[in-house]
Structure 1
Amino acid sequence: MKIAVFGATGRVGSNVVQLALQAGWEIKALVRDIPKAESLIPGAHLIEGDATISEDVEKTIQGCDLVFSALSTDKTDTLSKTFPLIIDHMISHRIDRIITVGTAGILNSRLEKGKYRYQSKESKRRSTFAAEEHQKVYQSLAKSNLDWVILCPTYLPDGENEGEVRYEENFLPEGGTRITVKDTALFAFKEIKENEFHYTRVGLSY
Structure 2
Amino acid sequence: MNLLLLGASGRVGSHILTRALQDGHHVTALARSPEKLAHHQADNLRIISGNVLEVSDVVRTVSGADTVICTLGTDGSTTLSEGFPHIIFAMKQAGIKRIITIGTAGILQSRTSPELLRYQSSESKRKLTRAAEEHHKAFALLEQSSLDWTIVCPTYLPDGELIGSYRVEADFLPENGSEISVPDTAAFTYSLIDSGDYVRSRVGIAY
Superposition TM-score tier, normalisation by shorter sequence: over 0.9
Provide Cα deviations, 1:62-121, integer angstroms capped at 9, x if missing partner: 111110000000100010010000001100100010000000000000011211000111
Alignment of 1:42-53 (within 5 A): 42-43=41-42, 44-53=45-54
Query: Does structure 1 residue 108 correspond to structure 2 residue 102?
Result: no
In the alignment, what sits opposite 2:81? 80
CA distance in 1 between counterparts of 2:196 and 2:37 reads: 27
Give the aligned CA root-mean-square deviation in angstroms. 0.9
Provide Cα deviations, 1:13-49, integer angstroms capped at 9, x if missing partner: 110111011110001011111221112x432210001
Task: Tell me by how many angstroms 1:60 deviates.
Answer: 1.5
Query: Does structure 1 residue 186 correspond to structure 2 residue 177?
Result: no
Alignment of 1:118-129 (within 5 A): 118-129=119-130
SS of the residue 1:183 aligns to: helix
CA distance in 2 between counterparts of 1:42 and 1:194 reads: 28
TM-score by length of 1: 0.97
Task: Tell me by how many angstroms 1:194 deviates.
Answer: 2.0
CA distance in 2 between counterparts of 1:195 and 1:22 reads: 22
SS of the residue 1:46 aligns to: strand
Task: Tell me by how many angstroms 1:196 deviates.
Answer: 1.7
- Which moved further from structure 2: 52-61 or 168-177? 52-61
TM-score by length of 2: 0.97
Q: Which runs of 4+ in 1 moved over 2 A?
A: 41-44
Task: Tell me by how many angstroms 1:169 deviates.
Answer: 0.3
Query: Does structure 1 residue 33 correspond to structure 2 residue 33?
Result: yes
CA distance in 1 between counterparts of 2:195 and 2:172 reads: 21
Unaligned runs of 5+ in 2: none
In the alignment, what sits opposite 1:24? 24
In the alignment, what sits opposite 1:202? 203
Identity of matched residues, %: 47
